[in-house]
Amino acid sequence: MTMKEKNFSVRTDLAIEATEIILSAEKAKEREEKTESERGGHELDGIEIKEESINDNIKLTKVKITNKNGEKSMGKPMGSYITLESPAMKENDTDTHEEIIKVLSENIAELTKLKKKSLILIVGLGNRNITPDALGPLVISKILVTRHITESLPESIDHDVRAVSAISPGVMGITGIETGEIIKGICESIKPDLIIAVDALAARKTERINATIQMSDTGISPGSGVGNKRMALNKDTLGIPVIAIGVPTVVDAATLINDTMDKVLNEMSLKAKKGGEFYKMLQTLDKDEKYNLIYEILTPCNGNMFVTPKEVDAVVKRLANIISNGINIALHPAISKEDINRYFN
């Protein structure tokens, strides 16, 4: 297969980025065919998008895929995808973190729609020995587990505290067992009403690395972000609803270089003589061919390489604290963040 026969496909786990790619393609097509006023705006069949600015630091975007056309365009199953963005997630900004936790817990509660007597299983996916992939296990270490208390001492616990179990099953390379098989076995034994799975993701844009939290009600495929897709965890495979929560901690190296080249070429085209041969060459570069050339150059030397920021150790711990607090507050309305922090400290 030649490079021109390949399809340009930027790797991302984020629904918000998938919609941006689709909208960009729609706009490019529109420029070729007719003006936006003639077309009447951008409407995507089967995809609903709603954006909201919580404050200057926090942005919330809700993407809903409503039909098969939306599924095909997005490459994701029908359902709701909620994205919370804030550069402050990467920083030691306690006040903004408090606000993020509040918004996160509200949206988790909206997605789960739990009853008071529901039993929830929290699953921390990933490899605790690899920092960018350790988000899931770190979150599990801060989850308030209560199933054993609600069963053995029901009179000693508030009625607004739900039964919660948690597990970090590891990865197949360490256990030799498919993660989905482990979770399925647990589900058959304890019969939870809902699973919340937490995992590290891959992003398209570097500015979203460690600065974005995505929630969805469609489940998750462990390892899909880095091209190592395993058995999916969703209602079809497990028989119960699965809420997925993830943060992009890595970006595909080929995508990173491709974006850098785009910026360089854009600067060159601005300075090149308009109408000249060099200007025309810059304007007609095929993005599919450029990306695949980068990918083919990188692959023999470095394999399927992903990049993460140098401060990932500290940032992943902050993110794990934000997500665990968001989950704990959403599942246990009677417990405050201060109560939870006293428990873990």
Output the DSSP codes for 33-81. H--HHHHTS---TTEEEEEEESSSS-EEEEEEE-SHHHHHHHTS-SEEE
- The per-residue pLDDT for 257 is 76
Reported as a pLDDT band with limits 50, 70 and 90, residue 5 is very low
CB 198 within 8 A of CB 124: yes
CB 14 within 8 A of CB 83: yes
- The per-residue pLDDT for 160 is 72
Reported as a pLDDT band with limits 50, 70 and 90, residue 182 is very high
- The per-residue pLDDT for 231 is 82
| Averaged pLDDT for residues 27-40 | 54
More confident residue, 44 or 245: 245
| pLDDT of 187 over the 80 cut | yes
| SS3 at position 214 | strand
- The per-residue pLDDT for 122 is 98
CA distance 124 to 204: 23
CB 322 within 8 A of CB 101: yes
Reported as a pLDDT band with limits 50, 70 and 90, residue 21 is confident
User: How many other CB atoms are there within 10 angstroms of residue 117's CB atom?
Assistant: 10
| pLDDT of 43 over the 80 cut | no
- The per-residue pLDDT for 204 is 84
Mean pLDDT of the chain: 82
More confident residue, 286 or 193: 193
- The per-residue pLDDT for 7 is 43
| Averaged pLDDT for residues 301-313 | 78
CB 242 within 8 A of CB 220: yes
Reported as a pLDDT band with limits 50, 70 and 90, residue 304 is low
Query: Domains of the chain: which residue ranges?
Result: 12-254+305-344, 255-302
CATH topology of domain 12-254+305-344: Rossmann fold (3.40.50)
Reported as a pLDDT band with limits 50, 70 and 90, residue 263 is confident
Most confident of 229-238, 242-251, 274-283: 242-251
Tens-digit pLDDT profile for residues 113-156: 888 788 999 999 999 999 999 999 999 999 999 898 877 666 65
CA distance 245 to 68: 23
| SS3 at position 229 | coil
CA distance 269 to 282: 6
Q: What tokens does 178 get? A: 């498919």
